[in-house]
Structure 1
Amino acid sequence: MTVVLAFLVGLLVVLALEAGGREVLARPVLARRNYRDHELATAAGLLLVVAVVLVEGARTVIELLGASDGATAPDRLLVVAVVVAFGTLGLIDDVLGDDAEKGLAGHVRAALHGRITTGAIKLAGGASFALVAAAVLGADRPVQTIVDAALIALAANLANLFDRAPGRTIKVGLLAWAPLAIVAGTSAAGLAVAVVAGGAAGLLRADLAERSMIGDTGANALGAGLGVAAVLVLGPGARAVVAAILLALTLASEVVSFSRVIDRTPPLRAADRLGRRRPEAGG
């Protein structure tokens, strides 16, 4: 399978799930108001998680039938496991969370006052699972394990931080995937993350049109999927650099509004608004 084919498979499976799953997404438990106070179905990113599992399941069946080589399957399975775990944590926040606390500092403050938010559960759970995933790859190298875990967790968190406008997280995710795809090629991790990227692309149109939102479910899954793929295909030095950049952006988000920076930078603003609905007259 080529990278392009894996991307297209992810995209088409998500589109099929979206067409058949509209009634599920329309249930009141998933209804949330977006940045323009329009009520939409959130957690559409659940379709991405399901698509990744379905594609991997189908590929496993093909391998069992002897039609392809499954020797490198563990890397693919790790990508799938991370996407499912982080997507589930995001779904908890989408369904049970509220907007009372924002950002890492807000969740920490709430915890210090004895209140555990769903956002804190998502962050702590994500950090823990990232550590487990990183340990699977290099338990005998504690420093590298911590760096790799940080990369995965920070990638997921940053994807959530960008999810403040229609399509933004998906666009940033696809932009980040492009160089990763070149490095990964047709490796097991490269093909697995291509399915993730394709699935995210399949959600882009509905997200831009404000028919649904990927929610923390989708942002968490996409960011973590890209993060674990980076851990699998990049060298130790490159992973350390990526983790440092992600940490710097995360810390910057506590004092700087990404939305404000984007709106004040014409090229970024144009890219951010590309494909989005125009503001309604008088609104």
Structure 2
Amino acid sequence: MLSRSTLTVLSLLVVATMGVPALSQSFKPSSIKSVVAKARDGEDVIVRGTIKGYVDSDDLILDDGTSTIVVDVDSKHERLGLAIGATIVVVGEVDRDDGIDIDADWVHVVRKPSATIPALQTKRLADVFNGIPDGRIVVVECEVTSFLSKDEIVVTDDSGSMTVDLDDEHHLNLGLKIGQNILMLAEVDLSGVFDPVKELDAKIIRKQPKSAVPAKTVVVAQPLPPAPKPVTVVKPQPPAKKSLADRLAILKSLHDQGLITAEEYAERKRAILDEI
């Protein structure tokens, strides 16, 4: 199944050719044929098709007219009533161990041909932070504003900022840079027991043209109203020092707002200072 080791942002995904309008062009389901031929092991994909049968109680056969693939579902998906003949949309991870199948992370039953899929409509980061529960799939459109580490970035839209986990190798190979606009499908992750922090686990990321999202003041999403406050602007410094100073300033802001623990703050600060 998709996991933290393997975060969220979108305009509407249009699946006109498959009978489900109002979903983002960048995140329309891939054909099963192309997934079988091109998707790498561990890659997150979206597919849509009809349930043709079951291999066993938690492995179903999905057909979209181009090919078929086995989808591994668990008990939370079985409660959806996944009957033979039902049309479903699946977000999952490709597994090429001993053949190829998809480990489903999220399943949506398309009950009407004209139905939209609310989970795949664009969300503001502040709305995700304040109102979307742990484990939900979301889509966000945002800008990369900082790197906290090799596989952790801060993204920002006009409502706030959130930390994104880029654990998958294909995310690290995208060459993301500060100022890059992205469209992202991610899973909300509320981690920690005594001091929980809400982040996003990236599933699918698409680079967007610079003009897609105008430049905005960097702000940090708050768990409760009022709206997030702007981050204090750091005075211009020489290029080499400015990058480190910006990262330290954003890291301190995340700690001051309660978005990361004191231990995480100290650990990440040490990691940044070690780069000097």
TM-score by length of structure 1 reads: 0.28
Higher-Rg structure is 2
Q: Between Structure 1 and Structure 2, which shows a larger proportion of helix residues?
A: 1
Q: Between Structure 1 and Structure 2, which shows a larger proportion of strand residues?
A: 2
